[in-house]
Amino acid sequence: MRDKIVAGNWKMNNDLAQTEDLLGNIKNELKPKEGVRVIVAPPFTNLYHAFESLRDRPVDVAAQNMNENKSGAFTGEVSAQMLTSIGVKTVILGHSERRAIYKETDELLAKKVDAALENEMEVIFCVGEELHERKAEKHFDVVRTQLEKGLFHLSAAQWEKVIIAYEPVWAIGTGETASPEQAQEMHAFIRKTISEKYGQQVADEVSILYGGSVKPDNAQEIFAKEDVDGGLIGGASLKAGDFLAIVNAF
Ligand code: PGA
């Protein structure tokens, strides 16, 4: 059975004191649920603290990005090996903000995926269309291309370390969510696309998360859909109460 996952993407929010606060509240109030994995992704500066602080708790720590190279003259960048050396074994790659603001291409993301997997990290790979692409009914093509270019060079065995996050760009931080039906439709499409390339077994084992304005009051109906295995949560992951209410939506 594939994992149910709720992952909090903090983006560029929370200094050290705020991180201590938020993690303290999450630790105090989290009621672990069988079969539901909880992940938090703080900024780089707080990853080590987060890992240490959550060491004895059932919460995993993820990075929000990383560089595709091993080491060297890449000012400002962080490698997979640096992340694993502080205990971080999961990384979010291809977030739409990285694609749009930092011009990360599918080709670059494929290299980052390889660097993560070479270091035995797990990847949360984000895909999703922009509003104009959905309006032009190109959303399935866009997502298929992102999957093909970013991930379809992998072997079937490597998919064990891959989680997909479907995040329609028009729903991120806008308060607008995809309807549960729109989410299910795309998640089923993603699973079918994976099954056509890798077979049904690989496709059935991949967790596919929905992201884009997930809140305590809409999580339950989105998570109830057959192919939705959880959420990648931005804004609502910054308040322990909201984040844990979303975890409890399962
Ligand atoms: P949001 O962000 O929940 O604030 O819409 C989701 C994301 O960008 O991962």
- Give me the pLDDT at residue 174, please: 84
Cβ < 6 Å from ligand 1: which residues? Answer: 9, 167, 172-173, 211-214, 232-236
% the chain with pLDDT above 70: 100
Q: Tell me if 92 sits within 8 A of 65, measured CB to CB.
A: yes
How does the average pLDDT of the chain come out, rounded? 96
The H or E element that residue 241 is part of is helix 240-247
Residue 136 scores a pLDDT above 90: yes
**Separation of CA 175 from chain center:** 19
Once rounded to an integer, what is the mean pLDDT over residues 6-25? Answer: 98
Catalytic residue among 95, 129, 139, 187: 95
Q: Are 20 and 45 in contact (CB under 8 A)?
A: no
- 95 is a catalytic site residue: yes
User: In the 8-state DSSP scheme, what is residue 75?
Assistant: T
* pLDDT-derived band at 244, boundaries 50, 70, 90: very high
Ligand 1: distance of its center to the CA of 32 in Å? 23
Question: What does the pLDDT look like over 176-233, one tens digit per residue?
Answer: 888 999 999 999 999 999 999 999 999 999 999 999 999 999 999 999 999 999 999 9
Taking residues 16-33, report their average pLDDT: 94
pLDDT, tens only, 55-110: 989 999 999 999 999 999 999 999 999 999 999 999 999 999 999 999 999 999 99
Is 51 within 8 Å of 86 (Cβ atoms)? Answer: yes
Model-level pTM?
0.97
User: Is the pLDDT assigned to residue 34 strictly greater than 90?
Assistant: no
